[in-house]
Amino acid sequence: MILLLLFTISAQAQSLPEVARKERERQAKLKSVHVLSSTSPKPAEAPAAPKPDGKPAETATSPAAAKPADQKTAVPAAAPPVTPTAADALRRYNEELSRLRAKVVELQDREIAIQLKMQDFKNQLLSPVTDTTARSQAQSLMEQAQNDFLATQNELAAIRRQLAVMEVAGPPKP
């Protein structure tokens, strides 16, 4: 008896992929009625009051009312002035943070590469079998690498300070 009951329950149960497929089909058939726009909503036009003779008045949405009497007198609507929104300010803030973080990673990579070069120049300088020209060339390359290293460290410190200031200030307030 219990086996018969379990068999009927499992036969009626739907598998998870089948339920997911049906849900996707159902959502594909639905159409969104909400339209999102960045402009302010326009007020809906009220229906016109009926005329005294009992016939409804012509609404402003009829094709005859929508066309201007003279095409030359029609003035095209001016585009509204573009004002930066809070979303734009937040997007610019996030882009600037991403740019600074990428710059920090780039400078850290450059710093490591310069350190590796300096180690190579040091090995050339301290090599037991070298002549004076190779040694002087290695020393000048070492000095140049040290100057590059200091410049990279200074730039990295400045970018990190700028990033810290932006993070402390936080995103722009609306």
Asked if the structure places residue 33 within a domain, the reply is no
Asked if the structure places residue 136 within a domain, the reply is yes
80 pLDDT above the threshold of 90: no
Asked if the structure places residue 125 within a domain, the reply is yes
Asked if the structure places residue 90 within a domain, the reply is yes
Asked if the structure places residue 132 within a domain, the reply is yes
**Is residue 27 within 8 Å of residue 21, measured between CB atoms?**
no
| Residues 170, 16: Cα–Cα separation, whole Å | 44
Q: How many percent of the chain have pLDDT more than 70?
A: 59
User: Mean of the pLDDT values across residues 9-37?
Assistant: 67
Asked if the structure places residue 49 within a domain, the reply is no
Instruction: Specify the pLDDT at position 11.
Output: 52
pTM for the predicted model, two decimal places: 0.49
Asked if the structure places residue 162 within a domain, the reply is yes
Indicate which CATH number applies to the domain containing 141: 1.10.287
Asked if the structure places residue 75 within a domain, the reply is no
- Residue 65 CA: distances (Å) to CA of 41, 70, 144: 22, 12, 79
The domain total for the chain is 1
Range of the domain at 154: 86-167
